[in-house]
Amino acid sequence: MHLAGSIRPKTLVALSNRHGRPLPESELERTGAWPPFRDFLHFMSDITQASGMVRSPHDIELIACEFMEDQAVQNILYTEVTFTAYGNHFIRGIPLGRARAWAEANLGVTFRIILDSFRGMSVEETLVVADWAIDGMDRSVVALGLGGDENRRPTGYFVGAFARAKAAGLARVPHAGEVAGPESVWGALRDLDATRIAHGVRCLEDASLVSELRGRGVALDVCPSSNVSLGVFPDLPSHALPSMMEAGLNVTVSTDDPPMFNTTLTKEYIAICDAYRFGADEVERLVLNGVRATLLQEAERVAMESQFRARLAELRVIHGV
């Protein structure tokens, strides 16, 4: 999920007024919910506008703390948050570090950061962001990401930044196979040596790609409501998630930009259980896939998996499944 896309609607309106950039009269202000998006570019325009309302370290700390409150309510213990770098004063780690410490102390939940570039940046800018990400490895940055319109620039444009991140021991988590087809996923694998891929849902259009992903075990972070909202699939029953699981792919469930798609991770699980008649086995598989796909240190990841397995076993006993 993206931090800029996690801002509560009321908070976004308050930030826009605080910075003297009031939003035009919109459904967001009237109802407190985002209206439907026409397509991916419409969404990109709106999230760029939302990001523009975040103008200080205080704003970053505010939205991060509020987001972690929303995660804690759902009993989401750990989150890897994608944060797009817009300025050096946001990258030094102080506001996000304070937010993480606050969440751990007060809510018992935590997060790490995927610092990402976007496809409209110059080569030089992507290299700067890679350096920021590397510099932040001791302050909760766990990966270099890549977002934006996949059709704008091919993955080969970003080879330098991702090679620099890999050489420093940083994971790579680009977006691919969302609005563009299998060639985008191939590029993420070949050009960027992706550790994990955000979305990847169009991989099923290429059987050899499915085989490659399955063989590598690369996790695909699937965001069903986002995909339907942006027209990647016409509706949830048409979504690729069940077929991806049947193909033996390493699939997790994520939210992308939860308030913007009027969803939460809890709602995502409820929706896919209703749409595909998933039971405890499928839910447990997806949850544990998510734990194993985290970019935590091995000991932390193993401990978290043990914690989750124990709780899942308790829930099976409680509910008789």
312, two tokens: 């899942």
SS3 of residue 78 by DSSP: strand
CA 315 from chain centre, in angstroms, equals 27
- Which of the following is catalytic: 80, 150, 178, 268? 178
Q: How many residues would you count in the chain?
A: 321
What is the three-state SS of 82-142? EEECCCHHHHCCHHHHHHHHHHHHHCCCEEEEEEEEECCCCHHHHHHHHHHHHHHHHHCEE
184, two tokens: 């985008």
DSSP 2: B
Burial per residue of 33-70, b for 16 or more beta-carbon CB atoms within 10 angstroms, e otherwise: ebeebeebeebbebbeebbebbbebebbbbbbbbbbee
Q: How many CB atoms lie within 10 A of CB 281?
A: 10
Instruction: Tell me the DSSP string of 207-253.
Output: HHHHHHHHHHT-EEEE-HHHHHHTTSSSSGGG-SHHHHHHTT--EEE
- Distance between CA atoms of 256 and 62, rounded to whole angstroms? 19
Instruction: Tell me the DSSP string of 172-208.
Output: EEEEESSSS-HHHHHHHHHTT--SEEEE-GGGGG-HH
Rounded to the nearest 10°, the torsion over CA 81, 85, 86, 88 is: 120
Catalytic status, residue 314: no
73, two tokens: 């309510």
Catalytic residues: 178
